[in-house]
Amino acid sequence: MSRTTRAIARLTLFVLVVIIFSVGFLGTTPRATQAQTTPRTAFVHLFEWKWTDIAKECENWLGPKGFAAVQVSPPQEHIQGAQWWTRYQPVSYQIQSRSGTRAEFANMVSRCKAVGVDIYVDAVINHMTGVGSGTGVAGTSYSSYNYPGNYQNQDFHHCGRNGNDDISNYQDRWEVQNCELVNLADLKTESDYVRGKLAAYLNDLRGLGVAGFRIDAAKHMPAADIANIMSRANNPYIYQEVIDQGGEPITSGEYTGNGDVTEFKYSTNIGRMFKTDKLANMSNFGTPWGFIASDSAVVFTDNHDNQRGHGGAGNVVTFKDGKLYELANVFALAWPYGYPQVMSSYNFSNGDQGPPSSNVYNGNTADCGGSNWVCEHRWRGIANMVGFRNYTSSAFSTSNWWSNGNNQISFSRGNLGFVAINREGNSLSRTFATGLPAGTYCDVIHGDFTNGVCSGPTVSVNGSGQATITVAAMDSVAIHGGAKINGTNPTPVPTTPPVPTTPPSSTIAVTFNENATTVWGQNVYVIGNVAALGSWNTANAVLLSSASYPVWSKTINLPANTAIEYKYIKKDGSGNVTWESGTNRTFSTPGSGSVTRNDSWK
């Protein structure tokens, strides 16, 4: 089934009823519901998440936010070890892995489907383990080219080249598809027996409700072999990992007849443009750049391989680039090309490091944005752009392109959405042609739109489709018709401020200690969601004292019994603002006493 057909089927089903909850940044659980009338057009890779955590995330975040699907890590039994890549060395096709049991997997699929989120499995069908012997995580023993109940020596390629059967020459098509990828036992996918075994594994997963597959290492199998295996699995939705940066005999285009293909040139080019080039040059980003056709491409800023320097890496942008990463994802989700995959990572200090030992969820609270799980898909500027892409999907083209010739750009998606991106050190203020009907819209980069109310700043569009907007340095603004506030004018500011119906009865002394190094002329500030922390206005952020440098400190009175979201920023003498990376830090103030927050710049 093609992605387009699946999207239409999804739309038909979910016009009847789909749950959408109100959304916030990290820690805000979506609640309110409304009818879903737009297709879901982006998915997320929850890399190395456990099945129990994914089930909760579908219900608490992904379903409400409008994500189409989750790519999950390989679910089959794999070799033992802490490294992430152990998942990509199958021992058997039992659904038992570091992420959980078969029962937990089935429960996850069911619960995600119930809230409109499909499951895509990362399917490792090119090879088995590294050549050698051992025992898998489910207790299955194996030895070189011998996997009891599945394969024996004759079911593998033995290419007889390079002294160890490994691939050495990527200019040789036969060698790439018949020798071993870094010593991994290479399955003979032209064999009828092997094809049947692989199809049985995929059909088992389909019987559990899996909607599609990422085909790992697809370029190491002829396209015809993949086509035959998929025909035995009733032709599910697939996207094939083909790392094609040009200059090799095996190309992405060979595989589009089977289904979608991962467009790695997109990742390396968007990284290059946002890191070192000019955004003004991106007005035709897509097929004119040598990419495959949009309707065949799965695209991403980064994935689990290239964010670690593997898999056609290049100069990619990752969560470690902080605000720059958010801007690249805002562009990717706003730009009409491909089927976007949002990456959701964990923190790592070396390329082999496996996932944190702790679950993402502790009860109903997600451990995101700290030292363990990064959860980029929960960053407001990324999460809310999924809704932007969904709403603007019927206008799959751009108009009103503008740039300053450097790194400030804007464009419209027909009359449905508008985005402005400022990748410069100074703010951008001008009147833009948005193309949208007159009205007041929620800026979904900085606020959440719930039941007609925007939690952040708004943008007013006049009858000519114009809006005067200020975009802060290294920031963006996005508006769309799905986040239009009722009425055509902003709510008037009352002459006498209303008295809060439940004013806080007291305040709590909160000491912020932030360990951060700075360059000459920089200072560190704290900013957050309450007035005492500047209400997310960088001009009103609170300056911390450098008396105990590199620890910056300040004690601030905050409302008692209040949920606090905050971050740290750096400002220099010219007013340039640098935000720390990751999602908002959160805590709740108690009814009495004091609080100390000890943090480090991230």
Report, as residue numbers or ranges, the catalytic residues.
216, 241
Task: For residue 68, give the nearest of 21, 1, 20, 117 by alpha carbon.
Answer: 117
Q: Strand ranges (DSSP E) for 116-187? A: 118-123, 127-130, 134-135, 141-142, 184-186
DSSP string covering 488-529: SSPPPPPSSPPPPSS--S-EEEEEEEEE----TT-EEEEEES
Task: Report d(CA 125, CA 439) in Å as an integer.
Answer: 52
Task: Specify which residues 123 forms β-bridges with.
Answer: 215
Task: Report d(CA 52, CA 61) in Å as an integer.
Answer: 14
CA 137 to the chain's CA centroid: 28
Q: Which helix (H) or strand (E) holds 329?
A: helix 323-334
Is there a contact between 376 and 344 (Cβ–Cβ < 8 Å)?
A: yes
Question: 3-state DSSP call for residue 565?
Answer: strand
Angle of the 264-275 helix axis to the 323-334 helix axis, nearest 10:
130
Question: Which tokens go with 144?
Answer: 């070189």
Is there a contact between 538 and 496 (Cβ–Cβ < 8 Å)?
A: no
Task: Specify which residues 485 forms β-bridges with.
Answer: 440
Q: Which helix (H) or strand (E) holds 203?
A: helix 192-207
Is there a contact between 120 and 42 (Cβ–Cβ < 8 Å)?
A: no
Strand pairing report for 439-442 and 449-450? unpaired
Strand pairing report for 563-571 and 577-579? antiparallel
Q: What are the φ and ψ backbone dihedral angles of 511, each rounded to 5 degrees?
A: -100, 125
Task: Specify which residues 142 forms β-bridges with.
Answer: 134
Is there a contact between 86 and 78 (Cβ–Cβ < 8 Å)?
A: yes
Task: Report d(CA 401, CA 398) in Å as an integer.
Answer: 7
First vs last C-alpha separation in the chain: 42
Is there a contact between 78 and 59 (Cβ–Cβ < 8 Å)?
A: no
Q: Strand ranges (DSSP E) for 218-263? A: 237-240, 260-262
Q: Which helix (H) or strand (E) holds 113?
A: helix 102-114
DSSP string covering 367-415: -BSSSSB--GGGSHHHHHHHHHHHHTTTS-S-EEEEE-SSSEEEEEETT
Tokens 């969820």 belong to residue = 361
Task: Enumerate residues 6+ apart whose C-beta is below 8 A from 354.
Answer: 48, 81, 82, 83, 84, 86
Tokens 């409109």 belong to residue = 116
Task: Enumerate residues 6+ apart whose C-beta is below 8 A from 5.
Answer: none
